[in-house]
Amino acid sequence: MSKPIFELVDELPTSGLTISMLNSLDFVAPGQWQNTVGFVNTIKTVTGETDEDLIQQIGERAIYLYNDRSQGYQRAMWLYQTVDITDKALGAAALANKVGEKIPLLGFLNAVTPKPDKAQTIDLCLKLVTELVAFCQINGIPGDSIGDFVASLGEYSGESLMRMVALVCVDGLIPLGPDFINKALSGINQMNPKELEQNSTFQNIKDVIPGNNAGSKLNFIGESFDSVKGWMGGLVTANNLTPQKVVNNLQSFVQLADDKLDYLAAFLDVATNYYEHTGTQTLARRLIERAVAEI
């Protein structure tokens, strides 16, 4: 890892397209996510501590834990970053100077091409597996602990819950439609290992996905997604989520014709990094909580 954890947290942005998108999804989990940035500020927010000496001790312990390679924190951070980076093959720089404006998408349509359903399905499932493996890394449990992960989802809150909400809305409902769960499951079940190996995100993270070869890793991905379908379906039902409802909330910062949802999905892939952003916040919180417990 090139940067220390305090620097990653200090560099988190306070505004921009990722923040706008996450704020617009607040209707699914009201008040769950605040964009807490800055390492010292995060320590104060998580612990409620005001004693500067103690804050310093907590920070030093959290940094020590992150730097300890026998722990899984750096690998979890790498996963959150990597699964986002492969999304942004194009166009992010062109969008940077548009931040703060309400962006009409049509001007970008020639630069941003929608992914076919198959690629979108793989990306959705790989993001879910990334969450599972990162959860295992952070908690020091074996990477194939699907049951532990599914059990923990019921207790997800804050930035972790918001990350899963965005996954369902932005990588599920918008590109694949209201039946995204069944569509993704049938897509994965019909996929062969060679198709999976052609996916750049898979190539980047395949070494941390349980399994001895592409076939067994594909099985693990399918099993993981299948195990979480109940939780995702529950989230959709409880909030009466539809692609249109999500888009209506996103309209606060992006303008889009209703028949261009696949373009919106591609645009959000390119323009946002919600996995890395909220993943950094999750990791900082876990490190700080553990540091406090150990001090």
Would you list the DSSP string of 211-252? SSSHHHHHHHHHHHHHHHHHHHHHHHHHTT--HHHHHHHHTT
φ, ψ (nearest 5 deg) of residue 97: -80, 0
Closest CA to 183 of 122, 262, 138, 135: 122
Q: What is the pLDDT along the chain (295 residues), one digit of tens a residue?
A: 579 999 999 999 999 889 999 999 999 999 999 999 999 999 999 999 999 999 999 999 999 999 999 999 999 999 999 998 765 644 454 454 455 556 666 566 556 677 788 889 999 999 999 999 999 999 998 878 999 999 999 999 999 999 999 999 999 999 999 999 999 999 999 999 999 999 989 999 999 999 999 999 999 999 999 999 999 999 999 999 999 999 999 988 877 666 678 878 888 888 889 999 999 999 999 999 999 999 8
Given CA atoms 205, 211, 215, 219 in this order, what sign does their dihedral have?
Answer: negative
249: left (phi over 0), alpha (psi -120 to 50) or beta: alpha
Q: Where are the beta strands (DSSP E) in the chain?
A: 103-104, 254-255
DSSP for 29-66? STT------SHHHHHHHHH----HHHHHHHHHHHHHHH
For 197, the token pair is 């190996």
Strand (E) or helix (H) holding 257: none
Could you give the C-alpha distances from 25 to 30, 64, 91, in angstroms and in order? 8, 34, 23
Given CA atoms 89, 95, 96, 99 in this order, what sign does their dihedral have?
Answer: negative
pLDDT score, position 62: 97
Return the SS3 of 225: helix
Amino acid at 288: I
For 168, the token pair is 């369902």
Return the SS3 of 71: coil
Number of neighbouring beta carbons within 10 Å of residue 154: 8
